[in-house]
Structure 1
Amino acid sequence: MKPYRSMLFVPGHKPSWAEKAIASGTDAVILDLEDSVPAADKADARKTVRETIERLRAQGVRADIWVRPNSVDSGLFGADVEEVVTPGLTGLFLPKVFDAEEIVRIDAVVSHIEGRDGIEAGAVGLIVSYETAVAMAHCEEIAAASPRVASLLGATGPSADVGRELGFEFTPEGLETLYLRSRIVLAARANGLHHPVAGVWQDLADLEGFRMFAEGNRRLGYRGIVLIHPSHVALANEVFTPSPAKVDHYRRMIAAFREAEAAGSGAVDFEGQHIDLAHAKTAEGIIELAEAVAKN
């Protein structure tokens, strides 16, 4: 999966909001069919979301388009994916997953639709949101359940599903979810998923709090964040973009190491720090991330 610094939710039954989301500069839009859509509007929202995907595809927008369907246990998932799996959809943002078997079944359903409708096999990715205690208990198995799984997130949000499920009290510092968030990063990286995303910050007015929350998740290993308001997009993009100073630092580090290597040394003193091949590889990873962000 390409690095998403920002993924912005848009209620699926509000088609004009999609253009506002695109204008915010978000890397990806998540058209929501779940919590933000009233029960009475679910059926119409499916058609609206499909029309929105087709419209944005025709416009050639930069941002990728994801859809959050209703969960499998809601009884609405099948009708949702039948409508929204269409050319222009990057993937499904899966809520309230329980176990790996559920991912396998979802993969089979999506594969059937792709084959039936002439969509490239494997084109539709999956992002798994860990919002249940059962899912967290099977975190690693879920991450490995299908090659469609592109990223993972979960374990945050005041008064949201995961907090209710696990019984913790949300704090901005996040100690109550540190183990869970760390486990998600580990499960992602162990399965070659290099861009886990954090989420969500619900206090729309507290931008300083949002910055601290985003930076804390970045330090933990997350590469982007899911958002619920366009006003957070620019700040998210800033936090999750390697700064020019950092990129320059790592370019100098690589150059110093390569010079030492050419002279027959496996290590070098770089600006007062001992560095070797492992440090050079880390530096290359940061530069690759910065280049991927710039390209996207």
Structure 2
Amino acid sequence: MKTGAVIIASGDYGEEQRENEGIHLFLPMYPLDGTTVIKGEIARFRKAGVSPIVVLAGCHSETLKLHLSHNNVIFVEDEAYREHSFEEALKLALETAAPLMDRALVLPVEYPAFGEETVEALLKAEQAAVPVYGGQAGWPRSVVPGEKDTKAGQDRILVEDPGVCYSLLDAGGIERVSAYLKARWDAATLHFKTKLVISKEEDFFGPGVYHLLQYIDETGSIQAAAVKMNMSYSKGWKMINKVEKELGFRFLNRCNGGKNGGSSTITPEGRLFMERYHAMLEDMKRITRGFFEVYFGEFQ
């Protein structure tokens, strides 16, 4: 049985969506998980061996077509996308898919958090199927393109994948989907952590001091910064005093204010040191990433 995919990206993801939960770009092309929403979905289908992939576009169709020009997808344009319901859009896409595949995994583009194990479960189903998590039906769903009623005979496949129910258009959807994909990546992928600590006879500047100074810069207060770091006010002062003693210049301009600590601002010398610390850390991560792939890539 030849199984392909149909991604429905023809919704009106235009001006009325621009301020929804921080979506400032065309939703299918929204940056997510190191790529864009729709490219990530295509990659996940491809990894599972699902092909061909049909993309139905409507809003900003030419922009999306250019975005996917090197992704080897079959592009279908719905010129009447504003008038079409989801069911009508799906019917249009399946008309193109019918000669190309025996079964289609249908996905509304706003559901990008499904896992590979869900795709594998759908591929094992012998007929139309829908993944279900916690009693809620999710996406993608398996349908037979030639059938008039795409919901007929659907198997309910229980999955341990809450991502099938996560839509980018739900309240808090961007944050939920991003956090879920990151957690999946962290759990499934070997990765490394880079830490930069600057020392003389003892360590005196590292991630803790750097983040404390960032919070001081943000809040203007050592007291507020210490609270964010879940440390005492006195410990925060000790860390900063040690850095200033070792480096021989002030990191903070202080304005005394009694028990609440007054206000503090980062000095120009302190800011320059922080910027160089951050730049070196980023360079270390970039260089180390290449070595990590050399030494541990085969274990991925």
Scaled to the shorter chain, the TM-score interval is under 0.3
Larger Rg: 2
TM-score by length of 1: 0.26
Query: Normalized against structure 2, the TM-score is what?
Result: 0.25
